Amino acid sequence: MPPKGDTKGKPTGSTDQYHHYIPRFILRRYQVGPARPKAERQRLFRRTGIDPEYVYYWDVAKNTLELRSIGQVYGVRNLYQDCKNTDNVNAAERKLSVLEHKAAMVISDLHAALPTGRFSVKRRPLEDLRKFLYVMHYRSSRLVDVYFDENHPDNVPMRPWIIHCKKTHGFKSPAEMWLHMLNYYLDNSHSQLMTHAAGITDKYGMGGVMGFMLPDNQVPPEIEHFPAISYQTNCGGHYTCIWQAADEEEFVLTHNGFGLWEGRVDGQPYVHRIFIISPRVIIVLRSVVLTIKDFTEKMAPSIQSSLLEIENGPPTCRRTQEFPDRDTVTAMENYRSSKQADGDVFTFNIKKLTVTQTMEVNSVLLDNVRKDGSVTFVSKTNMLRTARTFSGVLYHVFCNPRIFGLLNLLQDDLKSENASGIDAMKVVHFELFGLLLDASTGNRTFASAYERARKVLAVIVDQIHFSSVFASEIEERVGTVCARFLSNCDGDKLPPYVSWIETLPLETSTALFPFVFAVMEGSGFARAPSTSPLDVIQDEAVVLTFLEHVSVNVDGWYKLMTNDAGAALILSQLFEEGTTPDDVMMTLVTHVAASPQKCNSHYERACVLHRAICVSGPMRNKLTMYCSSSIAAIVTGLSLIIPSNKRSEQPNARLSNRLSQAHWLQLVQMIKDSMGQGEVSFTSGRGELPSSDIRHMADDVIVVGVLLWMAKERSDFLDNFCRPRKILLVKKEAK
């Protein structure tokens, strides 16, 4: 490492500077208007005092969309201001400018090669590019005060090494040490850094180096070049990919879009690092483990990434001589740093993305926009299409709900600038437009409203990465009502596993929509005020979208099934036979019936069966329909008999796991008495525990469902019954 106090390139005058964390040469590719040569830019600035370079800039926190000077965006003033005690806080910036120039030349050559679909570059320029990308990540202002803070919880394994390094070099703060290491990265070539890391790996072994990062281990203080390991992990552990946006699409630039991590392996950020270098091109560093078939097959369940389906392998390498045998990592790096390796040529197949894949990348970027972040783009029309598509997916809206602010700003701007000049076909989904037109005019008929709504949703889902105001409004309207309806439903979340039936009998379809509309209206939903065919179709599509969201939440589906006595019969018809886990449920019911000794009371057995039969998500089984509809019918009647008041509502209440047989029988009798003399007949409470009669068990399940409703909706009444009898039935859990 260079000694502390290196004064080479010491600047004169003020040290007040604006340091870009996204390089200006990248920002210029997003410039509004024609790019100007450097001499012309300087001449204009001298004449007017105004920076002639601007980009569109959406400020998320302020929700403003405006033109801002490139010189005043995506940077931080006086990045090194906490390093006042160092001899020269700007020397690193001067060194970085040299490296940046080299990287800019490679990126310029890359753009020139786009029409060919292939890009070839020699080893040293490619190493300069990779080093530049790493240094820009390391140079992030967010890392200055924490990267070498020995008291930071993430630095526990490095604490002895950090303390030793600070003492050796006389550093007074983590920021001083951070700047010293930045100079270390800049003063050494890529090959030197990799060779330093190789020496550590050869000495301690790969397992030993990886073990240094575990909380129970510690980095030996005497390792001089330990930061080289971080460099090696980034540059050696990931290969370079070049992705090009689909025609007439563009990559958006976000405040963290120059080095954003994407994807996890076993919970750790590992899979991709994204660098936006222009509206047309991104550089993606992809983990080399994805090239190892055995690893990916073994670790498939723990690999999470939105970009895995974009297939792209490493570049090919044409070497000037045979790659030598290597017994150590150092030997391999010695070849790579040799004069002979200077002539090695790497050739990349530039991956031209589809519209859908381009949107996947943009979705990753927009998902990670912070509330104090920003977004830049070239075309307002393209950005409007991207924002509409992004906001049409509920998950994305949860990640970045402020996207609607940008969407509205863009719509207003485009209308005011030249509404008639907007190419409407760029912001409308062709197939969906045709389907809606035919359905609205009667040119296409359907067996039922359900079938029509499913056809509409099928088009939207299949082509999700095309924009449509109609589609984005569906998710926007469903989002709020779903959140309210599921606010007290914290049960298991299911993957979408059922197959929805394509059409329903007219009678069932006619009953479905009024029922679901009533449920949704109870959670604040408002149907379209107009009765135009298009609004009616959208309302119907909203209903089916709502049902799809609720179906993956077992508590939510139970709440829906027990909302009305006729709900279970209707909802059970929405799924294709064989796609709901009815057989698994019945196997469990049979097992519980055959193993009464495992339960201490009818109550405990009834709780197990209640969850299996009623609270397991969508079912077609008649037993599920019988129990759910019976619970719904009874609680509807009880809600009229027993007055409701706010003090009685305890939506987070849950039933206890255990209850004695004597207390269970008292509760059964209370339910019977509450229902009136002889109005409903129950078998519950009869016989001994070993009984395996299905009707008996089903009635037990119904009683548990009614008790659960009372615990949530009539807690005062239930408490007045249980307290004097010392029945510990209800447990209240904070959500």
DSSP secondary structure of 588-629: HHHHHHH-GGG-SSHHHHHHHHHHHHHSSS----HHHHHHHH
Per-residue pLDDT, 49: 58
- Contact indicator for 722, 730 with CB cutoff of 8 Å: yes
User: Within 10 Å of residue 133's Cβ, how many Cβ atoms?
Assistant: 22
Joined together, the tokens standing for residue 593 give 């019936």
Q: What 3 state SS string does 473-527 have? A: HHHHHHHHHHHHHCCCCCCCECCCCCCECCCCCHHHHHHHHHHHHHHHHCCCCCC
In this prediction, residue 703 carries a pLDDT of 92
* Same domain (yes/no): 152, 226: yes
Q: How far apart are CA 435 and CA 487, in angstroms?
A: 35
pTM: 0.59
Query: Of the candidates 178, 206, 233, which is a domain's last residue?
Result: 233
Residues 257, 261, 262, 263: what is their CA dihedral angle, to the nearest 10 degrees?
180
The answer to whether residue 290 sits within a structural domain is no
Q: What are phi and psi of 420, to 5 degrees?
A: -75, -15
More confident residue, 48 or 226: 226
| pLDDT on residue 681 | 52
Evaluate whether residue 213 is within a structural domain.
yes
66 and 206 both lie in a single domain: yes
Q: How many domains does the chain have?
A: 3
Q: Does residue 637 carry a pLDDT above 90?
A: no
* Distance (Å, whole) CA 648 – CA 651: 9
CA dist., res. 564 & res. 629, Å (int):
7
**Which bin fits 113, alpha (ψ -120 to 50), beta or left (φ > 0)?**
alpha
Whether 282 is covered by a domain: the verdict is: no
Does 735 score more than 60 pLDDT? no
Residues 540, 605, single domain; the answer is: no
The least confident of 48-52, 91-95, 159-163, 546-550 is: 48-52
Q: Are residues 547 and 599 in the same domain?
A: no
**pLDDT for residue 649:** 81
Q: Tokens at residue 311, please?
A: 């297939």
Top pLDDT among 470 and 183 is at 183
**Residue 106 lies inside a defined structural domain of this protein:** no
Do 521 and 612 have their domain in common?
no
Using DSSP bridges, classify how beta strands 258-265 and 303-304 pair: parallel, antiparallel or unpaired: antiparallel
User: Are the C-beta atoms of 249 and 358 separated by less than 8 Å?
Assistant: yes
Q: Which of 182, 187, 181 is nearest to 166 (CA)?
A: 181
Q: Do 631 and 520 fall within a single domain?
A: no
pLDDT at residue 558, as a whole number: 94
Model pLDDT, residue 45: 62
Give the residue-averaged pLDDT of 220-228.
Answer: 86
Is residue 702 included in any domain, yes or no?
yes
Q: Are residues 527 and 598 in the same domain?
A: no
Report yes or no on 568 lying in a domain: no
- Burial track 433-465 (b if 16+ CB lie within 10 A, e otherwise): eebbeebeeeeeebebbbbbbbbbbebbeebeb
Q: Which residue has the higher pLDDT, 10 or 336?
A: 336
Domain end call among 198, 233, 268: 233
CB 599 within 8 A of CB 689: yes
- Under a CB-based contact definition with an 8 Å cutoff, are residues 556 and 465 in contact? no
In a domain, 185, yes or no: yes
Q: Provide the β-strand partners of residue 286.
A: 239, 272
Q: Are 544 and 621 part of one and the same domain? A: no
Q: What is residue 647's predicted lDDT score, i.e. its pLDDT?
A: 67
The predicted-structure confidence for 46-68, as pLDDT tens digits, reads as follows: 665 556 688 999 999 999 999 99
Of 208, 233, 258, at which residue does a domain stop?
A: 233
Whether residues 27 and 89 share a domain: the answer is yes
Task: Count CB atoms within 10 A of the CB of residue 664.
Answer: 25
For residue 484, is it within any domain?
yes
Q: Name the nearest CA neighbour of 612 among 593, 589, 638, 642.
A: 589
Residues 548 and 595 in one domain: no
User: Which whole number is the average pLDDT over 163-171?
Assistant: 88
pLDDT tens digits, one per residue of 573-610: 999 988 888 888 888 888 887 777 777 788 888 899 99
Question: Across residues 476-505, what is the average pLDDT?
Answer: 86
Q: 530 pLDDT band (50/70/90 cuts)?
A: confident
Partners of 66 in beta bridges:
57
How far is residue 337's CA from residue 324's CA, in Å, rounded to a whole number? 13
What average pLDDT does range 133-147 have in this prediction? 80
Residues of the chain with pLDDT > 90, as a percent, come to 38
Statement to judge: residues 547 and 617 lie in one domain: no
Domain region containing 518: 430-552
Q: How far is residue 576's CA from residue 1's CA, in Å, rounded to a whole number?
A: 67
Q: Are strands 351-352 and 238-244 parallel, antiparallel or unpaired?
A: parallel
Mean of the per-residue pLDDT values for the chain? 83
Q: Are residues 520 and 651 in the same domain?
A: no
Least confident of 458-472, 540-554, 614-628: 458-472
